[in-house]
Each structure stands twice: as structure tokens, then as C-alpha cells.
Chain A
Amino acid sequence: MFTPHTDAERKEMLTALGLKSIEELFSDVPGKFRFPALNLPAGMSEMFAQNYVEGFAGANASTKEFVCFLGAGVYDHYIPAAVDSILRRGEFFTAYTPYQPEISQGTLQSIFEFQSLICNLTSLEVSNASHYDGATAAAEACLMAYAHFREKRKRILLSHAIHPQYREVINTYLSGARDIEIITSGKNEESLSDPREINNLIDEDTALVMVQYPDFFGRVFDLSDLINEAHQKGALVCMIVNPIALGLLKTPGQMGADIAVGEGQPLGIPLSFGGPYLGFIAARKDLVRKLSGRLVGETVDGNGKRGYVLTLTAREQHIRREKATSNICSNQGLMALAATVYMSLLGKSGMQQVSNLCYQNAHYAAQKISELDGFKILTSEPFFHEIVVQCPISIDHLNHHLLEEGILGGYALEHEFPDLKDCMLLAFTEKTNKEIIDVLCEIMKESNHG
């Protein structure tokens, strides 16, 4: 299939090596364990493999046929055709990390442009070449803050209104560093309290305050005062941001944040059942040496021609080994390329349009749902993408009913936020409109009465 040698060629090669059989090449492998049987189905032709794999794909309900109101950190946005047509270019997807800049300017310049777009989106001065996803980018930001204070400040404050999975990942990432203390704000019974109340916990031992914007529940708060207060105590502030929301909303840079991280999936990357996605991280320029992951910088060749290279590599694991801040090696190259093409194509006006559509649809839906008997919107305006809806019936029951009508309902909050019983997070993107939202409301109404 993908191994080109003919039997005759293989024999010629073995002869050249003075060998009679291929098995002789493996004489260093302990005989007792050599050539084990693998209990796998027999290999399939491409045609049969395609049928086989399509069988798995066909056993799912997808957003191709279903209307999707699920969000919770991952959003069903439209992906312009141009994005995938660039990703399918073999020169991009069959290359690796640009170790040889002379023959990797395509990858390098597109990462440079990615960094530029992320900087200008967040109003922060430096961005890296990407992280695995939003949650790991958030965890890397914690490590970065810890290293920034030379491990002298031990406390990381997490808002209770950040994505629960992000909190889990941060806890896992920091479990190897014994001295770090992670404190989550808020109490279990007050999930919807103002995330800015985290200010009460900031002290001289706080390295980082991490807040989400819009928060996990879709709420938009001005964080300028909180950031100011944190800075007075000498702490850094990291905002977890939604990149589409920043088409409209006041930016981390404008509010004075030191670091911004986020999930880049909404920027032209398919839902793909959870990945691969794209983590981004941007920061103030003076933090650049503590930023983990790859960085691309502009330079010139011997003739003065402009070009791009991986730079500040001395921060990274292959040079610093055990002294590196992070062990990260790869990045999400192809996903960063998708986001770069998406942001370039949409440009200034497209980013504002998609952001506005999400904003308007969510506010219309909130208005309509609040008019339904028994349903209540628990989050106050303004919000972005998402709203918390309290329902008169169980979320399972409601979502089951919605599914029968071809709708993927909201995300049930009760499991992770016990005080939000019978509450769900409903997400709205540009893919919904007045008609679909009206249908949603009709079904919600019927479910309550039916």
C-alpha cells in the first residue's frame, strides 16, 4: 500500500546487507518476545476501510442534521470554504515544525501572522505559536506566572466562573509543583455570584488571578477595576477570552490584563468531537521570556531579504531540558493556520459581523425564553453566546424532547454546579436565527405542558 518495495527489491537490499531474511535485522530484540502475534482484524482495502469507518461516522447525530444549542466552551460556527481548501495543501499539512527556515517560510510566516492577529485581537503585544487547547493554555499561563515570580508567590486564584474542565486541567498540570496553592473563588451555593468578588482573596502571595470573559455562564463584566486591584497587590491577571466575542467586546489589553488565553476553536476549526482545537496565549511584552511554546520572529537573510525564524528557543525544553518552564514541543500548527485563514478572510468587518450575530441572537433568545411560562433567565445582560436558563422540568427530559425535534439542547449545569438545579446553558451563534429560536421556544413551551 504505502510501502513501495517489490519482493525483488527487498531481496536486493537484503543481499546488499549480507542478510538472508528480514528477521536477521531484529537480532537485538530478545527472542522470547520477538515477533508476537497481533490479534487485529485483517487489513482492509481502502474501499472497505472507507465503508467500515463511515459506519462509525454514520452512527452519530451531528450538527450537519441537527440544530445545535450546545456551547460550554466549544461553538458551532460556520466555517468558510476557503479555510479547508488552504488546510488541504500538502505543502502545509505534510510539513513538520519549521526547523529549517529556508524551506519553511510558509509555515513560519503564517505563524507570524497568527501571532499578529492574536495580538491585535486581544490588544496584547506578544503571542506564541499556539498551545494544545484553551484549557492547557490556561494551565501554561499559571506555570508562567509562577515562574515570573521565581516561585516566590505561591497562590493561584481561579474564578469559580471559569470553565470547569479548565479548572480540572489546571489542577492536573500544577499537581507536580508541590508548593503551588490553587484557590477557587465563590461558594458552591452561589455559582452565579459576581466573579469580580475574587478581589477579596488577592494578597501579597498571589501570583495570578484568572478570570473568564465572557465567563462560563456567558456573562460580560468589565474587569478593569479588578485588574487594577490585583496589580496594586503585585499579582498578574490572566483573562480566558472567547475570540469571537472580542470582535465586539472591550479587550484584555484595554482592561490592563497581563495575559490572555483562550480556545481558538471558534475561529474556523470544526467541532470534531472535542479536538484537535487550538489554544492561544498572548501577554505583555515584558513577559515574553516566560511564555512557553514556540515563537516566530522576523529577521533577514544574508542579502537583507525579510524572513522568519523560530526565536528565543533558549527558553525551550530541547535546550533547557529539566530547567524549562514547560515540556511543550509541538504546537497546533495546522489549527493555527485554520484560525489565521479564518481571521484574515473575515477581516475587520467579518469578525464584527459574526460577533454581532452571536450577540443579537442570544439576546433575542433570552427575551423570548423569559416570556415562557415557568422558564427563567438567571444571567443578566449583557451576555455573549450563552445564557443560563432555569427550567420547570428536568434538563434531561427537555433535551430528550428537543432531540426528537432535531435539536441538540443546552448543557446541563447541575452536575458541576449543584445549586443550578434544572438549569442549562444555551448557546447561540450566527447559525441560528429568529425562526429557529422561535421553534426552540415553542418546543420548550410544549415540553413544559406536555
Chain B
Amino acid sequence: MAEPTIYEISSPGRTGFQFHQPDVPVAQLPAELKRNDLPFPEVSEVDVIRHFTRLSQLNYGIDLGFYPLGSCTMKYNPRINEEMARLSGFAMAHPLQPIETVQGNLALIYQLQEWLKEISGFSGITLQPAAGAQGEFVGGLIMRAYHLSRNDLKRTKILVPDSAHGTNPATSSMSGFEVVNIPSDSRGNIDLEKLKEICDDCVAGLMLTNPNTLGLFEEHLQEVIAIIHEKGGLVYGDGANFNALLGIIKPGEVGFDIMHFNLHKTFSTPHGGGGPGSGPVAVAAHLVDFLPAPVVGIVEEGDDETPPLYGFITPSKSIGRMKSFYGHFGVLVRAFTYIAMHGANGLRNISENAVLNANYLKKLLGNAYTVPYDRACMHEFVAEGFWDDAPGIHALDVAKRMMDYGIHPPTNYFPLIVKEALMIEPTETESKQEIEHFAEIMKTIAHEAHTEPELLHTAPHHTPIGRLDEVKAAKDLVLCCWIPPEE
């Protein structure tokens, strides 16, 4: 039976939480400013705890098993991070307190800024962006502001490879640019000849995910960057796949001008069923003045006896504020704890194992699946979820069948340049045995696709609910338990 909604278990007059009575003289709210009835559920605390506990049991999370969702880096979320973010000095500090009362928070932000700069090889950074997509938006606006500041008004285009995540083109248009797609070549790199042909002095910049969404390291990285720079453009690095590069390469050193991080991917902060993320943006020296405001800096130098005073600084040509306050601070605390525990060696070890796991898994799959662009991959790879000799089977069927084996399916139908794509990212926190187990499941499903295709078409069979009617959802559009306000 389906879990009823919280509205359906409501019982008129029941209360779940009791506040005290006001102990001050009563002031009257004018009747014309009063709302009419508040149509909210009336349930007890037990009702609430059971309802949401039962809902949680309908979910799959990293805590339950393998979650190879490509480009999402579903690694284990260390528990100590959760404890640290809940310390009262962090969790109960108001963002508008006088800076003297929040030196711990500001010092932590400052230290994290320094560490992320060191890890990525950039000169400046903002921790304000709420998520990767907002980080990209910051990057787009910085590119715009940079060219405008040089009175270079002709730059209207952003180049985006055809393998890019959908946020890249959406970000580019939000930032006021026209999007030009760049094709990939037969090895999964950017098509260099095409790039040279298209890149002119109207190009504001290139948005490049490296490793790209095929899980491949761009083989002509330096040439690509040089082509863009030669024409006066900037190179933006989408850091969604940075889990492959910790201690492996510093994007700032190779010549990237801007890059965003996804702390919820690379630095183990929980994905929370869709957020909160955190998308810091690092920039090279010539772009530091354009960062969103405020950034945290030292406003009074310290000495042997007194620590420095940390405070807020507005960069001189700042693109402005991206969101309230200073970013997802609670997420920053978690990432900070993670980096503190790893240090340089630990970070490099993460990327080494992430890349090793992906390659090992790819190897174990053998010929069961076609992997186009057959090169050593980085932290993920893309397989095709169809076979010429298994007509009617699609990546969707393979993905749905995987749930019957207790595994969260890989990202499917992305990137768009691979037919029936299954994008698989095992991450470094999975053991050899877990990867071998998953490879066996993948092979079994490939076999079933040829021998019992119906099993895949009708999958999943062992989940709390079967395949859902998405057409009906979009047509009927029931988006809430709506209780019309009384007149």
C-alpha cells in the first residue's frame, strides 16, 4: 500500500508540537490583516516520525549500497562531517553578528579559501555560490564583466562542447551570451580543427569540462587553451569531474582562467536528495577583482600575540552578490573537515583510487557492453545500453533492471553524444568486491537482454513501486494536495 500523505493522516484538533503561551500583554492583529483558515495537517509527533521514517525507507541512498551515478560523484559521506557542521558555534551563529563574534567562522572560510586555491592552482576564490550551476553563472558573469571592463564589446559568444552538461549552455544564455556548440572528435576530445575554425575574436570564452562527460581527459588540453587565449577568450573549467584530478593536476597551472568546484561531489558533502550543494569559484590573478561580494580576507594583520582579524572584503570590480550571505556555510564546514583529514597525500589517494576503480570496472565488463572511445578513462566512463542483436532494449530498460539487483542505476541518456548512454562513476569509496559484484550484475543484465528481454522491459519488479506513468503526471499536473482558501 502506498504511504498516505501527511494530509491524509491528519485528524482535526490533533497537535504535534506545543509552544508556551505568550507572557506579555496581548496586542490585537487588525481583523482585515488576518489570514483565513490555515489548511495544515494536524498530526502528532509520533505520526510525523513514523510517516517520514517510512518515507525514508522508500529511498535509496549511498548508505544502502552502490550508487554509480555518473558525473554526480556519489561517494561515502563521512559521519564526522555531520557532527562538525552541527557544532553550536557554527550552526547557531547568525550571519549578521559583528565580525568580532564570528572569528572562528571567518577563519574557517579563509582557510578553506586558501586550501581550495592551493588544490586548484588559482589566485582567488569565492565560496558564495550555492551549487555548481550557480558557480557556472558566476563564471559567465565574470567573463562578461572582464571583457566589458576592457571595453571589448564584441564578445557575444560562448563555446560549449557537445558533450557538455545542460547547465553549461543554460548558464551561457543566462549570462547574456549566444551559445556555439563544438563537436567532439573520434577519440572523444574537442575537435581541434573545428575549434580553430569557429574561434574568433567574438568569443568570450570556452566552457570546458575536464575530464569531459565521457570520462576522458582532454588530450589536447594545452592546445585548446592556447587557441582560446590567442583570440582573447577565457577558459572556464567545469569542476564537476574534479574528483579525478586531486593532486593529479592543478587546472590553474595549465591555464584555465576560472573553475567551479562541486563540494558535494569532490569533497564528500551529502547530496541531500538534491541539495544543498556548494559551488565555489576560483579564478586566475587577472580575474580576482571581479569575484562576487563579499569574500573573506584579513582586515587587520596579527602578530605573535594576537591572531589576525578576519572580515569581509568587496572586490573592486565585483560582479555583485549571488545569494544571501557567504555561501552554504554548513556545507563548507563539512568539506573543510574532509580536507583536514586527508591532507595532500590523502587527496591524491582519492583521485588515484577513483580512476583505478573506474578503469577496473570498465575492464571487468569486457565485451558485455560497448564502450565507445576505448581509451583509459578517468573517474568514470560511458557505455552503450543497447545491442544490435537485442532489439527493443534501451538504456532505460538496463537501468530499471539494475534496481532489481539492489543497485542505483548509472546516469542514463547523458552525455547526448553517446547513443543510449550509461554513464558509470564508481567513486573511490567502493571496494574491489563491490565493483566485481556490480560488474557481475551488469553482465547478467546484458545476458538477460538477449535471452529474456521481457524481464528488462517490465523492470523493476522488486522496488516499492513499479515504472510510473510520466505522461499522466505531466498531463494531469497534480502538484500538491491543494485545499482552496475559504472565501
Binary contact track B402-435/A, C-beta < 8 Å → 1, others 0? 0100001101001000000000000011111000
By a CB distance below 8 angstroms, the chain B residues around A350 are 15-19
Confirm or deny: A326 has a beta carbon within 8 angstroms of a beta carbon on chain B: yes
Q: Are A357 and B35 in contact (CB under 8 A)?
A: no
By a CB distance below 8 angstroms, the chain B residues around A434 are 23-24
Q: Are A300 and B53 in contact (CB under 8 A)?
A: no
Q: Which of B328-345 contact A (CB under 8 A)?
A: 328-331, 333, 336-337, 339-345
By a CB distance below 8 angstroms, the chain A residues around B118 are 38-40
The total of chain B residues at the interface (CB under 8 A) is 203
By a CB distance below 8 angstroms, the chain A residues around B339 are 40
Q: How far is the CA of A43 from the CA of B339 in the complex (A)?
A: 8
With A57-B87, A344-B16 known as contacts, the answer to whether A117 contacts B56 (CB < 8 A) is no
Confirm or deny: B299 has a beta carbon within 8 angstroms of a beta carbon on chain A: no
Q: How far is the CA of A293 from the CA of B93 in the complex (A)?
A: 29
Q: Are A408 and B323 in contact (CB under 8 A)?
A: no
Confirm or deny: A251 has a beta carbon within 8 angstroms of a beta carbon on chain B: yes
Confirm or deny: A449 has a beta carbon within 8 angstroms of a beta carbon on chain B: no
4 shortest A-B CB distances, which residue pairs?
A: A274-B325, A59-B104, A334-B272, A57-B89
Q: Which of A328-379 contact B (CB under 8 A)?
A: 328-335, 337, 340-341, 343-354, 356-357, 359-361, 363-364, 367
Confirm or deny: B119 has a beta carbon within 8 angstroms of a beta carbon on chain A: yes
By a CB distance below 8 angstroms, the chain A residues around B257 are none
Q: From B38-46, B227-235, B387-395, B447-455, give the one contacting chain A.
A: B38-46
Q: Are B481 and A399 in contact (CB under 8 A)?
A: no
Say how far A146's CB is from chain B's closest CB, in angstroms: 11
Confirm or deny: A450 has a beta carbon within 8 angstroms of a beta carbon on chain B: no
Q: Beyond A127-B480, A297-B476: 18 further Cβ-contacts under 8 Å?
A: A4-B429, A4-B431, A25-B352, A36-B250, A38-B119, A40-B347, A43-B340, A49-B341, A92-B56, A94-B63, A100-B408, A106-B57, A298-B478, A317-B167, A318-B166, A328-B133, A344-B6, A344-B48
By a CB distance below 8 angstroms, the chain A residues around B107 are 56, 59
By a CB distance below 8 angstroms, the chain A residues around B45 are 82, 345
By a CB distance below 8 angstroms, the chain B residues around A112 are 5, 479-481
Q: From B193-201, B280-288, B465-473, give the one contacting chain A.
A: B465-473
Confirm or deny: B400 has a beta carbon within 8 angstroms of a beta carbon on chain A: yes
Q: Are B174 and A326 in contact (CB under 8 A)?
A: yes
Q: Are B133 and A329 in contact (CB under 8 A)?
A: yes
With A5-B353, A109-B58, A133-B323 known as contacts, the answer to whether A44 contacts B343 (CB < 8 A) is yes
Partner of A288, one of B15, B43, B176, B479: B479
Say how far A19's CB is from chain B's closest CB, in angstroms: 9
With A274-B326, A347-B16 known as contacts, the answer to whether A49 contacts B94 (CB < 8 A) is no
Q: Are B320 and A172 in contact (CB under 8 A)?
A: yes
Confirm or deny: B253 has a beta carbon within 8 angstroms of a beta carbon on chain A: yes
Say how far A39's CB is from chain B's closest CB, in angstroms: 6
Q: Are A61 and B272 in contact (CB under 8 A)?
A: no
Q: How far is the CA of A360 from the CA of B375 in the complex (A)?
A: 68
Confirm or deny: A420 has a beta carbon within 8 angstroms of a beta carbon on chain B: no
Q: Are B480 and A132 in contact (CB under 8 A)?
A: no
What total count of A-B pairs have CB within 8 Å? Answer: 683
CB pairs A–B below 8 angstroms (5 shown) = A10-B356, A99-B69, A169-B321, A334-B272, A403-B101
Binary contact track B154-190/A, C-beta < 8 Å → 1, others 0? 0000000000011101111111110100000000000
Q: Are A16 and B276 in contact (CB under 8 A)?
A: no
Q: Are A305 and B2 in contact (CB under 8 A)?
A: yes
Q: How far is the CA of A326 from the CA of B477 in the complex (A)?
A: 21
By a CB distance below 8 angstroms, the chain A residues around B485 are 123, 251, 253-254
Q: Name which residue of chain A comes closest to B412, CB basis.
A: A99
Confirm or deny: A68 has a beta carbon within 8 angstroms of a beta carbon on chain B: yes
Q: Which of A122-155 contact B (CB under 8 A)?
A: 123, 125-127, 129-130, 132-136, 143
With A60-B103, A327-B137 known as contacts, the answer to whether A273 contacts B254 (CB < 8 A) is no
With A35-B247, A248-B35 known as contacts, the answer to whether A70 contacts B356 (CB < 8 A) is no
With A61-B97, A297-B477, A330-B277 known as contacts, the answer to whether A324 contacts B59 (CB < 8 A) is no
Binary contact track A276-312/B, C-beta < 8 Å → 1, others 0? 1100000000001000001111111111011111011
Q: Are B275 and A334 in contact (CB under 8 A)?
A: yes
Say how far A361's CB is from chain B's closest CB, in angstroms: 6
With A28-B376, A98-B273 known as contacts, the answer to whether A348 contacts B38 (CB < 8 A) is yes
